[in-house]
């Protein structure tokens, strides 16, 4: 004769073994919250007063890390990516050199994104690129639109 424990185990032999999934769902939510908190949101403020020129052969750069943004408005004023207005080349050079030092400590290659209004003069573009070169940044990306559909 079999013991009662053995008999009860043999009776339930055909039942499927089930796993409780609630701890798994809790773990997924914990991982989701962890990655949301640990990640860094990168936002680029775009100056609404800038209407970039249209270039049929424009391409989007792959890497946007370490990029300082300068906008050139049609009236000749410069705004940085944070919205502050700069006027002189010395201010631009100082801002660029500070940005370069910050990016190099993080390990990113610093570059300059130059967004100019389509009516801005070439003299203003040269002023910003010269100030960036004096600040130590020699990689410049010019912002343009592929089509004129966003006018």
Exposure letters 21-59 (e unless 16+ CB within 10 A, then b)? eeeeeeeeeeeeeeeeeeeeeeeeeebeebbbbeeeeee
Which of 52-56, 80-84, 96-100, 116-120 is predicted least confidently?
80-84
CATH of domain 67-150: 3.30.420.270
pLDDT at 10: 63
- Higher-confidence residue of 9 and 129: namely 129
Strands (E), the chain: 67-72, 78-80, 85-86, 111-116, 140-142
Please write the tens of the pLDDT for every residue from 37-85: 888 766 666 677 777 777 777 777 776 677 778 888 877 777 776 666 7
pLDDT at 28: 93
Q: 5 in helix, strand or coil?
A: helix
| pTM check: above 0.75 | no
């Amino acid at each position: 004769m079999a013991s009662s424990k053995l008999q009860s185990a043999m009776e339930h032999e055909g039942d499927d073994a089930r796993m409780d999934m609630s701890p798994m769902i809790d773990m997924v939510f914990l991982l989701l919250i962890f990655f949301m908190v640990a990640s860094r949101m990168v936002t680029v403020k775009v100056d609404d007063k800038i209407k970039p020129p249209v270039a049929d052969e424009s391409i989007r750069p792959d890497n946007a890390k370490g990029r300082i943004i300068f906008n050139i408005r049609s009236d000749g004023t410069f705004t940085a990516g944070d919205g502050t207005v700069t006027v002189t080349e010395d201010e631009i050079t100082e801002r660029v050199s500070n940005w370069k030092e910050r990016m190099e400590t993080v390990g990113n290659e610093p570059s300059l994104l130059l967004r100019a209004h389509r009516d801005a003069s070439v003299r203003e573009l040269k002023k910003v690129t010269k100030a960036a070169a004096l600040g130590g940044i020699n990689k410049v990306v010019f912002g343009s639109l592929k089509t004129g559909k966003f006018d």
